Structure 1
Amino acid sequence: MRILVVCGAGASSTFVAQRVRHAAQDRGLPYTAFAGTEQSLPIDLDAADVVLVGPHLSHALPRIHADAAHRGTTVVLLPADIFGDLDGTRTLTLVRDAIGAAGGSAPIAGAPPPA
């Protein structure tokens, strides 16, 4: 499972990616996590199974949803308090819940279906 964490400039996403990567490793899960920015998203999406979108990018969610839908990538809008998840376990739970809800496919979590 390849998890892309996206924020505006890449700083906060780096911390979230590192934390969720460690949480997955602690549980023996074969997940990788990497950080990206809103600008690098079109390229980074090709390497991701799940995209975690920083709460400050909620305005871009419809565009991210559309870009991810073409690739079958699950999108999750992170809650505003996610940066307090210091050990990554809560973020990992969000990923696992989104994947479980997808049932093996990749619906988009946290966003309305396309019109």
Structure 2
Amino acid sequence: MKILLVCNAGMSTSMLVSRMEKAAQARGLSIEIQAVPITKAETMLKEWDIVMLGPQVRHQLNYLIKKAEGQTPIQVIEMRDYGMMNGEKVLDAALKVIGE
């Protein structure tokens, strides 16, 4: 399972990535999670099971949905969960969308 997090520069989501990885480990899940800037995301959308956007780039949602051509679900991370860096809840949201 592969989860891609996207923000302006790929920096603010790096802490969230580590918290999500800890949550996945605690559940015994093998998940690849990576954070990238929005400029890099559009070229790699179809390589991931889900793409989750940081609230600061939610304005790119429709553009990325078109780019993904229906092959990858794209969702905006809840602002509260993002602000609190709640890896558990963001992981839960991703798993719910991809049906795990």
Aligned position for 2:91: 92
Secondary structure in 1 matching 2:39: coil
Are 1:79 and 2:78 counterparts?
Answer: yes
Aligned position for 1:10: 10
Q: Which runs of 4+ in 1 moved over 2 A?
A: none
Q: Structure 2: which amino acid aligns with 1:14?
A: S
Aligned position for 1:69: 69
Between the aligned partners of 1:91 and 1:83, the Cα distance in structure 2 is: 11
Asked if the contact 2:61–2:75 (Cα under 8 Å) also holds between the matched residues in 1, the reply is: no
Cα offsets for 1:14-59 (capped at 9, x unmatched): 1122211221111111211001111001233243111010111111
Between the aligned partners of 1:85 and 1:37, the Cα distance in structure 2 is: 17
Aligned residue pairs, count: 99
Q: Which runs of 5+ in 2 are unaligned?
A: none
CA RMSD of aligned residues (A): 1.6
Q: Which runs of 5+ in 1 are unaligned?
A: 105-115
Asked if the contact 1:6–1:54 (Cα under 8 Å) also holds between the matched residues in 2, the reply is: yes
How far off is 1:96 after superposition? Answer: 1.2
Aligned position for 1:19: 19
Between the aligned partners of 2:67 and 2:45, the Cα distance in structure 1 is: 8
Query: Highest relative contact order (Cα 8 Å, sep 6+), 1 or 2?
Result: 2
